[in-house]
């Protein structure tokens, strides 16, 4: 095994922030009891924030970003993980507090890893990545209305930011569940993309960007919200009695202006989705469900595959809302 590897390294010195593709020695990777030969990572909104300026998430520099990856174990002192096993990692502050997946090698704690289900490839795992994992968490939160909470069947579901990484995969999964999915988007040219994913209706973003009413006409049994702000406030006011809103993003705003009325009059539930520190048991459940919920043939028509060098140039697009679908990072490209 070559002791050198390629990686994107970000650094902060006084007021100067840099991001470069470098050749590093394996000794750069500190801590952890499992060494992984990375095959793929992906580009998520949080990754772009970190690549831009650290996003107030990185505490020590120089640092390798990348909040997820998949690959094969090549060294292990952890008895639960053996050399040759394929593994996935999302969250657990990898790419933030710990060196991440924008590299050919990563040394991590075994407790952060999930063994890849055999039915998935390492490529498929990162076609989903953190965004897909989050979309699955959101979708199961909506499904909880009729299963966990023993409520009425879910029929009408709204997905905001529907062309993004989380939103697009949520559209596919919720449609697979048999729900009628309305996709909210500001991209008029992506209607066919959303229809192919399973959306029944397309709603223009401006329809939910105005000032919200405390209680509006109930339209949605469930909502997957990836943007926050006024759109989330309007979605809450339009949610039917006992409906569930799975909130996982703040691309528009981290602020939320609403009242308690939807929650105490209609019994609406606002379910915050944490993809970073959720339990390992839940991670394993979600990844084992992925192959049953995802049509990878459709998703792969809309992914962009980039290498590490190209990633440095294209990441701002996700912050500007210019990227639809998923960006897959082939670290060996």
What CATH number does residue 46 fall under? 3.90.180.10
Domain assignment present for residue 257? The answer is: yes
How far the first Cα of the chain sits from its last, in Å, is 18
Q: What is the pLDDT of residues 197-216, one digit of tens each?
A: 999 999 999 999 988 889 99
* 165 is a domain residue: yes
If you average pLDDT over residues 279-288, what whole number do you get? 94
Pairing of strands 105-108, 34-43: antiparallel
pLDDT in tens, 51-70: 999 988 999 999 999 999 99
| The pLDDT of residue 324 is above 90 | no
Is the omega angle on the peptide bond into residue 62 within 30 degrees of 0, that is, cis? yes
- Residue 1 banded pLDDT, cuts 50, 70, 90: low
The reply to whether 168 and 222 lie within a common domain is yes
For the chain, counts of helices (H) and of strands (E): 10, 15
pLDDT for position 3: 87
Mean pLDDT on 216-223: 96
Judge if 106 and 136 occupy the same domain.
no
Q: Among residues 257, 272, 287, which one ends one of the domains?
A: 272
What's the pLDDT band for 271 if we cut at 50, 70, 90?
very high
Per the structure, the complete domain to which residue 237 belongs is given by 131-272
Whether residue 152 sits in one domain with residue 106: no
304 part of a folded domain: yes
Residue 304 has pLDDT above 90, yes or no: yes
Q: Is the pLDDT of residue 40 over 80?
A: yes
- Please report, for the domain that includes residue 154, its CATH number: 3.40.50.720
Q: Does any domain span residue 217? A: yes
φ, ψ of residue 270 to 5 degrees: the values are: -100, 110
How far apart are the C-alpha atoms of 126 and 139, rounded to whole Å?
18
CB-based contact 257:228 (threshold 8 Å): no
Residue 74 clears pLDDT 90, i.e. is over it = yes
Check whether 247 has a pLDDT greater than 70. yes
57 and 30 within one domain: yes
For the cut 90, the answer to whether the pLDDT of residue 148 exceeds it is no
What are φ and ψ of residue 324, in 5° steps? -110, 145
DSSP label of 67: S
Q: Given 226, 257, 272, which residue is the final one in a domain?
A: 272
Domain for residue 286, yes or no?
no
Q: Give the global pTM.
A: 0.92
DSSP string, 148-205: TS--SPP-EEEESSTTSHHHHHHHHHHHHTT-EEEEEES-GGGHHHHHHHT-SEEEEG
Asked if 110 and 18 sit in the same domain, the reply is yes
Bridge partners for 52 per DSSP: none
**266 and 146 together in one domain:** yes
Distance (Å, whole) CA 273 – CA 140: 11
287 within domain boundaries: no
**Number of domains comprising the chain:** 2
Would the pLDDT of 219 be above 80? yes
- Whether residue 150 has pLDDT greater than 80: no
Q: Is the pLDDT of residue 280 over 80?
A: yes
Residue 249 belongs to some domain of the structure: yes
Residue 323 has pLDDT above 90, yes or no: no
pLDDT at 321: 83
Under the banding of pLDDT at 50, 70 and 90, the label for residue 12 is very high
Q: What angle do CA 164, 254, 139 make, to 5 degrees?
A: 45
* 68 neighbors 89 (Cβ within 8 angstroms): yes
Residue 199 lies in a domain: yes
Q: At 290, which helix (H) or strand (E)?
A: helix 280-293
Kindly state whether residues 265 and 139 are assigned to the same domain: yes
Percent of the chain with pLDDT over 90: 85
Same domain, 136 and 261: yes
CA-nearest of 141, 161, 333 to 244 is: 141
* Residue 20 β-bridge partners: 9
Residue 244 shares a structural domain with residue 157: yes
96 and 159 assigned to the same domain: no
Q: Are 41 and 129 in contact (CB under 8 A)?
A: yes
């Amino acid at each position: 095994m070559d002791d050198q590897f390629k990686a994107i390294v970000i650094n902060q010195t006084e007021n100067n922030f840099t991001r470069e593709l470098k050749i590093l020695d394996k000794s750069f990777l500190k801590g952890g009891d499992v060494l992984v030969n990375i095959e793929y990572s992906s580009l998520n909104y949080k990754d772009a924030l970190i690549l831009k300026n650290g996003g107030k998430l990185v505490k020590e520099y120089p640092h390798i970003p990348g909040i997820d990856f998949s690959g094969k174990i090549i060294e292990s002192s952890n008895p639960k993980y053996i050399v040759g096993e394929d593994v996935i990692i999302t969250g657990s502050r990898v790419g933030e507090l710990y060196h991440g997946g924008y590299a050919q090698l990563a040394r991590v704690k075994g407790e952060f890893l999930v063994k890849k289900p055999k039915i998935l490839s390492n490529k498929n795992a990162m076609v989903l990545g953190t965004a897909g994992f989050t979309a699955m968490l959101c979708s199961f939160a909506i499904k909880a209305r009729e299963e966990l909470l023993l409520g009425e069947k879910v029929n009408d579901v709204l997905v905001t930011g529907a062309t993004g990484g989380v939103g697009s995969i949520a559209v596919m999964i919720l449609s697979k569940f048999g729900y009628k999915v309305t996709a909210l988007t500001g991209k008029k040219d992506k209607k066919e993309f959303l229809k192919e994913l399973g959306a029944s209706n397309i709603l223009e973003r401006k329809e939910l960007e105005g000032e919200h009413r405390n209680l509006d006409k109930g339209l949605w049994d469930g909502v997957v919200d990836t943007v926050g702000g006024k759109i989330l406030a309007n979605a809450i006011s339009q949610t039917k009695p006992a409906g569930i809103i799975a909130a996982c993003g703040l691309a528009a705003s981290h602020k939320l202006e609403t009242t308690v009325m939807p929650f105490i009059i209609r019994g609406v539930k606002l379910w915050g989705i944490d993809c970073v520190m959720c339990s390992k048991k839940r991670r394993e459940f979600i990844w084992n469900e992925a192959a049953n919920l995802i049509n990878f043939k459709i998703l792969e028509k809309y992914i962009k595959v980039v290498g590490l060098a190209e990633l440095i140039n294209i990441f701002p697009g996700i912050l500007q809302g210019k990227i639809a679908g998923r960006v897959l990072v082939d670290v060996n490209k």
